[in-house]
Structure 1
């Protein structure tokens, strides 16, 4: 199977817009019905052998333990509870409105109250429209959804490999439904006092120094898939640090900068995986170095901290 198959945004834009909202619906259920974790680690999806999963939730909220999976091989939404009961329906053929109603019906059949406080898109152009009223986004091309999952799965394993070389506090590799990216974040113990006006999402996500890494499929601002990295708070002189490979660059983003490696450029390398790993490592050394982290002390090559193994 080809590593990093071609996947230009305009080829599957309509399916992405619909699927993004499907995932936000399930993601908001995850947010409402799972125990909160630091830096919102309870919220994202994780990868499975055929799609993405909410992971088990419930119990603490009075619901039975239940899980919701997107299956991008069979193209189904599958909800199940701990008793072994399952409710499933096809992903194709739904608008956001009909998906939302079908999903709520599936949860009801499992004895789950899947209510969410704000049943509207988060940080999307139609954020004021309830999911139940969205009949416009109704495109689901199975081939595109399957390729999205294939790319997501491949990137997931590259990020897992990169994550293994850091012994400090690090997030899981996880897929955020609000921004539709997959990311892993490294933390220092240094607290950051975010201003109250920054909002609860930012104050929790960035309560420590971080260097974060990820991949997204493109959006209206950057209309192509890219690997990215950033440091927060952004240190002085960050954009003066070198990046690898040669096609990588620092790009303005909001009030700071992103290290970017375009997916199309990574694909051109004889070893795309090595090119991406080199990019991530160069961005890490740029951010962590300028923030003053002890890079050598935090390293664990090959995911090993055992002092009796060679090289440690």
Structure 2
């Protein structure tokens, strides 16, 4: 399997738009049925050896314990219940409407009765899921490539996460924004203004330096690695980044450190290039937030003082 295979934005846009909505439907089920965790860590998907999983959910207050997996090897959606019952259906050939209908028929059959806000989140076309018959493009080859890229990126982010021993999120795949990320917390509680929406207030109640990868959007139609510090300290966009192709780009009133995926693919040492980029963006944020870089360091995941390098 090629490391970081090509993933041009335009080449899979129709499939991406359909798969993104499939993911949002299942993600909203996860949101409704899971136990709330700090910073919404209960909500994203995790990767498996075959695709994506919600992880087990429910099982309390009368709801059966169940799990939903995207098996992207067989291209099936699988619903498993703790008592051994299981149901699945194929992903290819589904519209968003038929996917939504079949999933909720299975859930109801298993006695899993919940409600979601059945419209897309922050997507240009707001057609309700139950009415969306025009998003029906699912190319198994391209979806497999998406999962393979996610899996490789997750391993790089996991290696990056190992060097930090402070509070750190899992490496997880956000279905609403279709990116994969890991977040480091400086330890400083900042809080957002009360008028800010509750989702954002919980996500950024502590100061963070986050890193991740996304597949591109209409504004920036190319996949890229990124990092940001929130709240953004003054002067962040003037801090140096590595390598030379990396840049600070304006994004919703703040800045993202961005390194294009294709630049990584062309690098002599792609993994080292990504890690160097993320380290440079982290150092920029940590310097300006006076984060204790040395005290929160755990080189190669080691905190044992007898094993740490001098």
Fold shared per TM-score above 0.5: yes
Structure 1 residue 195, shift from structure 2 partner: 1.1
Alignment check: 8 A CA contact 1:35 1:60 kept: no
Equivalent position SS for 2:249: strand
1:121 aligns with 2:112: no
Q: Aligned partners of 1:131, 1:310: CA distance in 2, in Å? A: 52
Equivalent position SS for 2:57: coil
Equivalent position SS for 1:122: coil
Structure 1 residue 114, shift from structure 2 partner: 3.9
Q: Aligned partners of 1:60, 1:297: CA distance in 2, in Å? A: 40
Match for residue 17 of structure 1? 17
Match for residue 203 of structure 1? 201
Match of 1:130 among 124, 128, 142: 128
Equivalent position SS for 1:70: strand
Q: CA-to-partner distance for each residue in 1:19-71, whole Å, 9 max, x for gaps?
A: 00000000000000101001000000000001000000002342111000001
Q: CA-to-partner distance for each residue in 1:59-107, whole Å, 9 max, x for gaps?
A: 2342111000001110000000111111000000110000000111122
Structure 1 residues 75 and 99, CA, compared in 2 at 3 Å: closer, same or farther? same
1:242 aligns with 2:240: yes
Counterparts of 1:132-171 in structure 2 under 5 Å? 132-171=130-169
Alignment check: 8 A CA contact 2:69 2:77 kept: yes
1:275 aligns with 2:304: no
Match for residue 92 of structure 2? 92
Q: CA-to-partner distance for each residue in 1:218-255, whole Å, 9 max, x for gaps?
A: 01111000000000111112112111111101111111
Match for residue 39 of structure 2? 39
Equivalent position SS for 2:295: helix
Match for residue 189 of structure 2? 191
Alignment check: 8 A CA contact 2:302 2:308 kept: no
Q: Aligned partners of 1:121, 1:66: CA distance in 2, in Å? A: 23
Match for residue 65 of structure 1? 65
Equivalent position SS for 1:89: strand
Structure 1 residues 39 and 310, CA, compared in 2 at 3 Å: closer, same or farther? closer
Structure 1 residue 157, shift from structure 2 partner: 0.4
Structure 2 unmatched runs, 5+: none
Match for residue 224 of structure 1? 222
Structure 1 unmatched runs, 5+: none
Count of aligned residue pairs for this structure pair? 310
